[in-house]
Amino acid sequence: MMEALADTLKGHPGPSLLLCALLFRLLSRAQQELPVPKVVRQDAFRHWRWRNLSLSLVHSVLTGTWAVTCVLVWPQLLTSLHSYHTPAAYLLVCISSGYFVQDVCDIVLSGHAGGSWEFLLHHALVIWCFLYTLYTHVYVAGAVVVLLVEVNSVTLHLRLLLKLAEAQASSTYYVVKVVNLFTYVTFRLPTQFYLTWYIVHNYSWLDHAAPFLASMMVMNVMILIYFYRLLRADFFTRRRSKAEQGGRQVGVQRFLSD
């Protein structure tokens, strides 16, 4: 059944991606009926961000688990990033692409593009790479390996949701921040650098290696900056002066926070 579905998607990658984006949009609408913490409900920006991150969490749980399963069942995905693929792998890339398209639309249409340009840049890089994969059926394995970083995104989104609920002092937040650091250094960083090494090592014969390598280098810089912010916020905190706290408050509506 999955093979038949994947074959159908391969024949119509554009409409299939839009359908997946629509399904995520409908799921986002359904999530609005779920209860949220009072502190989140009282602020419009926090409420939107809670909803946006909640959908991101669903995507991360789904695709992260799916990617790990694919790699365990078909270990060739880790070594044949250019040409090897399976129906399950192609379907995973299509579904994830739909999410990223939906998220870009949500950010822009909600009026938060100005404060989330880094996220939009990241999404744009991912979307063009995934679109190339969906239309050419090349680098499907590479896209699956990319999605291993979603294992870290699960804890990253949980951490941000707890911060939105102002639960940084809870034992739950402490556990999540430690696990988040662990998954960052075991899934996100190694995956990103492995993909970069693979492109550099096989640069001479890979299709469109230059734009893919450029995209990877931009994302490498971004994840290192995020890693620094993460360490600074969770493990190297310091007491701020009143002036600093005031400046911090002014920037509270940045989509990307520490």
Ranges of each domain in the chain: 2-250
Which residues of the chain are modeled with pLDDT < 50? 241-251, 254-256
Q: What does the block give as tokens for 251?
A: 């920037």
The pLDDT of residue 5: 76
Are 188 and 152 a contacting pair, CB within 8 Å?
A: yes
Q: At what angle do helices 209-234 and 189-201 cross, to 10 degrees?
A: 160
The pLDDT of residue 136: 95
Rounded distance between C-alpha atoms, residue 242 and residue 26, angstroms:
43
Q: Does residue 209 sit in helix, strand or coil?
A: helix
The pLDDT of residue 208: 95
Which of 97, 169, 89 has its CA nearest to residue 137?
89
How many C-beta atoms surround the C-beta of residue 123 within 10 A? Answer: 17
**DSSP readout, 43-74?**
-HHHHHHHHHHHHHHHHHHHHHHHHHHHHHH-
Euclidean distance between the first and final Cα of the chain, in Å? 43
The pLDDT of residue 48: 93
The pLDDT of residue 4: 76
The pLDDT of residue 7: 74
What backbone phi and psi angles, to 5 degrees, belong to 40? -80, -45
